[in-house]
A and B are shown apart, each in its own frame.
Chain A
Amino acid sequence: MASPRISAYLPPDIDPTKAALAFGRRALPKLNEELQAPELLTQQRALMALCDLVHDPEKVYQAIALGFLDSLKTLLVHQDQTVRQKTTEVLSIMALHSIGREGLIRSGVISALTGLLDDPVDICRKNTHQIFDRLAKLPEGAGGVLRAALIPPLVLKLRTELDEIQELILETLSNCIRVEVSEALAAGALTVLKEKLSHPSAAIRSKAAWVLLEISSHAEGKIAVCKEELVPALVSLLEDTEPEAQVNSAGALMFAIVTPQGRSSAMGAEAIPPLLTLVAEETSKARLNAIKTLTLLAELPEGRKALLDHRDTFQRCLDDPSEAVQRAAEIAITVIDWKP
C-alpha cells in the first residue's frame, strides 16, 4: 500500500559541515559548549549551525542572554580563518536585529573587532565593516564606534581597501560623523574624501558626497570644507550621472554654503545653473536639496539677481506632490523677492 511517507524515519540531516542541534531549548546552550571545545572541527561545525540559527530574532535574544558574545569574542582572534570568518558572519547577522545590536554594543564587541581591521582574509574584513556599518546606524552604536577610537583607522583604510569595503567604511563614517566631527577632521578625512569624489565607482562617489554632507552639517566642518576648497568639486559632482551622487552633493553644498565664504566660493564655482537643472527635473530626488541650496545663494545680491529670472521654476515647484518641496519652494520665493 503506497503512502507518501516512504520511510518511517525523517530524512537524515546530511550536511556534514554543521553540528547537530539539540532539541528545543537545549540547542543554543549545547552550541555554546561546543564553541568552547578545544577541537577545531567542533568549533567550526558549531559556528556553521549558529550562522543558520541567528536569522531568527528569538534565537538571537536567547543567544545573547546565554552569553554567546563572550565566547564569540574569544573566537574572533582564532588562528583559523574559517572560524574567524564564520564568527564575523554570525556577529553581522546578529547586528541585523535590534536586540542583537543592543547586545553587541553593551558587550563591547566593537573594541574586540578593532583587531580584525588588518585581517589578511577579505571576507573577515568585509564582515567586520558590515558590523560597524550596521551598528553605526544606531546613535548608541555610533557613539560606541567613536569611543573605540575607530575613526582614524577607518579613514586610513579608506585609501587602501577594496571598493566594496570602502563603501561600507564610507557609510559607517557618515553615521559616526553625524554625531561628532572633530575626530574625523583631525584624521584628515577631507583630503581622502576629495579623492573619492572623483572615483570611477558611482556608489563610492555618492557615499563620499554623503559623508561630506554630514561633515558640513557641523560648524567646524563647514569651515574646513570651505578651506579645503571642496565646494568646486561638489559643484562638478552636481552634473554626475548617478542620481544618488547628485542628491548627496546638493545636500553637501546646502550645508557648506551657509557660511559666507562658502557662498562666495559657490558663486565663484557657478553653482546656480546645475542646481537649476536639478530643480527643473520633475522626478529628481535632489529637488529638495537643490531648492534649499538656491535659497541660500539667493541671499547674496548677485544670486538674487540671477535667480529673479528663474522665478517661474520655483513657482512650478509649488505644485509638487512632496510637501517638503512645496515648503522649500515657498521659502525660496520669499527670499528671492526680498528687498532690503
Chain B
Amino acid sequence: MVPTRAPELTAPADLPYTFYSQPRSLGSRPKYREQSNAAEKEKGPVHHCNIMIDPRVVRGNVLSVRHPPQSTEPSTLEAKRQRRAQKQGLARKLTREQIRTGTPEPVEGREHVHVQTELYLEEISDRVIEVDGECQTDEFLDRPPTPLFIPAKTGKDVATQIEEGELFDFDIEVKPILEVLVGKTVEQALLEVMEEEELAQLWSHQRAFAELRNAEFAELQRLEEQDRRIREEKERRRLEHLEKLRKQKETAEKIAARAFAQRYLADLIPSVFNNLHESGFFYDPIERDIETEFLPWLMSEVEETLQKKVLGRMMLDSLIRMVVEKRLDEFSRLPPSDQTEAPAEEPRETDAAPQVSGEADVADQPIEEKEETDQLVDEE
C-alpha cells in the first residue's frame, strides 16, 4: 500500500523539470495498516492479518498456470488508480505543452501547417503503429528429478579382485536354500497326498460299513420274506381250519334241525287230520246228502203237515166261533122260527162243512202255496 500523496497539478513554469509532488521525506509510517483502509477493504479488524487466511496470497501450486481473479467491476482501489493514472497522464501532457516554446499564432489569413523537415518523410497518423509482442513463459514443467549427487572423487583409487572361492563356497551355501526349496515342495506334495489318502480312507471305511450294512439288510429282508411266507401260510391254514369248523357246525345244526323237525311233525298229521275231521272237512257224502237235502225236506214236510193240522184246528176254531156268534145273534134276536133255523143250521152246517172243507181246501192251497214259497225260499 503506497502512502497517499497529494497530486500537484500545477508546477512552476521556468523549472525545466517538474514532478508531481514535491519531494518530501517520507514520514514514519506505522508498521501496521491503519483503520482508514477498512472502508476500502471490507475486512474486520485487520491488525494482525494472518498470512494463512490472506486472500491475496496465492495458494496452491505456485508453478501452475494461474489466471488472475476476474471481477465484474473494478474494485474501488482499481478505479481510483485508473483515475489517478488518467489525471497524471493529463498533467503530463499539459506540462509538456507548456514547456515547449510554441510558435506564434498564425497571421490572419494564414495557416500554420506542420511540416516534416527531416531527411526522410514519415507518415504521421493518429493511429500509432502498434506491434503486438507477446511474451509467454513456457508451460510449467515438472521439476526434473534431482540428479544424483555424486560428489567429486577424492582420495586415491584402490583396486581389488575377488578370486573364485574366496567369497563363499557355493556347495555349502546352497544347501540351506535347497533344503528349503525341496522341503517346501515335498511338504506340499505330502499334504496333497495325505489329503487324498485321508479321503480314500474315509471312502473305504464307508464302503466297508456299507457292505456290512447291506449284508445285514439282506439278512433282514430274507428273514422278512421268510416271515411273510410263514405268516401267509399260517393264515391260509387258519382260514381253512375255520372253514372246516364252520362247515362241521353247519352240518351238525342241519342234522339237529332235521331230527327236531321230524319229531315235531310226527304227530302233526294226525292232529291235523283230527282237526279237519272235527271241523267237518271230511265228510261222508251220503250223510251230507241226507243231511242237506233229505232232512230239510222231511222237516218241511213235517212242518207242512203240522201246519195243516194247525190250520184245520184254526178253521175249526173259527167255525165254532162263527157258529157261536151267529147263534148268539140269533138268540139275541127274536126267534122267528126254529124250523128255519134248524134247516138253516143244517144247511149252514152242511154249508159250513163244505165251506169248512172248501175253506180248508182254500186254506190248504194258500198253505200249499205258502209251503211252496217257503220251500222256494228255503231252497234259495
Which A positions have Cβ atoms within 8 angstroms of B?
2, 4, 6, 55, 96, 137, 213, 217, 247, 251, 254-255, 258-259, 285, 288-289, 292, 295-296, 299, 324, 328, 331
> Which among B168, B173, B218 is the interface contact of A258 at CB below 8 angstroms?
B218
Instruction: For the complex, give the distance between the alpha carbons of A288 and B225 in Å.
Output: 19
Q: Give B158-206 interface residues, CB cut-off 8 Å to A.
A: 167-168, 173, 176-177, 191-192, 195, 199, 203, 206
Q: What 0/1 readout, one digit per residue, does chain B (208-221) give for beta carbons within 8 Å of chain A?
A: 00011011011101
| Top 9 A-B pairs, shortest CB-CB distance | A2-B168, A4-B176, A254-B218, A258-B221, A258-B225, A292-B218, A288-B215, A296-B222, A251-B214
Instruction: Say whether B248 faces chain A, with CB atoms less than 8 Å apart.
Output: no
Instruction: For the complex, give the distance between the alpha carbons of A116 and B168 in Å.
Output: 58
A96/B219 in contact, CB under 8 A: no
Which chain A residues lie closer than 8 Å to B226 at the CB level? Answer: 299
Instruction: For the complex, give the distance between the alpha carbons of A288 and B177 in Å.
Output: 55
Instruction: For the complex, give the distance between the alpha carbons of A110 and B177 in Å.
Output: 46
Contact count A vs B, C-beta below 8 Å = 60
Instruction: For the complex, give the distance between the alpha carbons of A254 and B216 in Å.
Output: 11
A247: nearest chain-B partner, CB-CB: B211
A324/B215 in contact, CB under 8 A: yes
A217/B214 in contact, CB under 8 A: yes
The count of chain B contact residues (Cβ–Cβ below 8 Å) is 23
A292/B195 in contact, CB under 8 A: no
> Which among A2, A217, A295 is the interface contact of B173 at CB below 8 angstroms?
A2
Can you report 9 A-B residue pairs in the complex whose CB atoms are below 8 A from each other?
A2-B168, A217-B214, A217-B221, A251-B215, A258-B225, A289-B218, A292-B215, A295-B219, A324-B212
Which B positions have Cβ atoms within 8 angstroms of A?
167-168, 173, 176-177, 191-192, 195, 199, 203, 206, 211-212, 214-215, 217-219, 221-222, 224-226
Instruction: For the complex, give the distance between the alpha carbons of A112 and B7 in Å.
Output: 93
Which chain B residues lie closer than 8 Å to A288 at the CB level? Answer: 211-212, 215
Which chain A residues lie closer than 8 Å to B167 at the CB level? Answer: 2
A328/B214 in contact, CB under 8 A: no
How near does chain A come to B184, taking the closest CB pair, in angstroms? 11
Which chain A residues lie closer than 8 Å to B211 at the CB level? Answer: 247, 251, 285, 288-289
Which chain A residues lie closer than 8 Å to B214 at the CB level? Answer: 213, 217, 251, 254-255, 289
A295: nearest chain-B partner, CB-CB: B222
Instruction: For the complex, give the distance between the alpha carbons of A6 and B212 in Å.
Output: 60
A285: nearest chain-B partner, CB-CB: B211
- Given the known A-B contacts A55-B191, A55-B195, A96-B199, are A328 and B221 also in contact in the complex, defined by CB atoms under 8 Å? no
A6-B177, A55-B195 are known; give 6 further A-B pairs, CB within 8 A: A4-B176, A137-B206, A251-B215, A258-B221, A288-B215, A296-B218
Instruction: For the complex, give the distance between the alpha carbons of A255 and B215 in Å.
Output: 9
How near does chain A come to B201, taking the closest CB pair, in angstroms? 13
B199: nearest chain-A partner, CB-CB: A96
B168/A255 in contact, CB under 8 A: no
A56: nearest chain-B partner, CB-CB: B191
B195/A96 in contact, CB under 8 A: yes
Which chain A residues lie closer than 8 Å to B173 at the CB level? Answer: 2, 4
B192: nearest chain-A partner, CB-CB: A55
B212/A4 in contact, CB under 8 A: no
> Which among B176, B199, B219 is the interface contact of A292 at CB below 8 angstroms?
B219
How near does chain B come to A93, taking the closest CB pair, in angstroms? 9
B168/A217 in contact, CB under 8 A: no
Which chain A residues lie closer than 8 Å to B218 at the CB level? Answer: 217, 251, 254-255, 258, 289, 292, 296
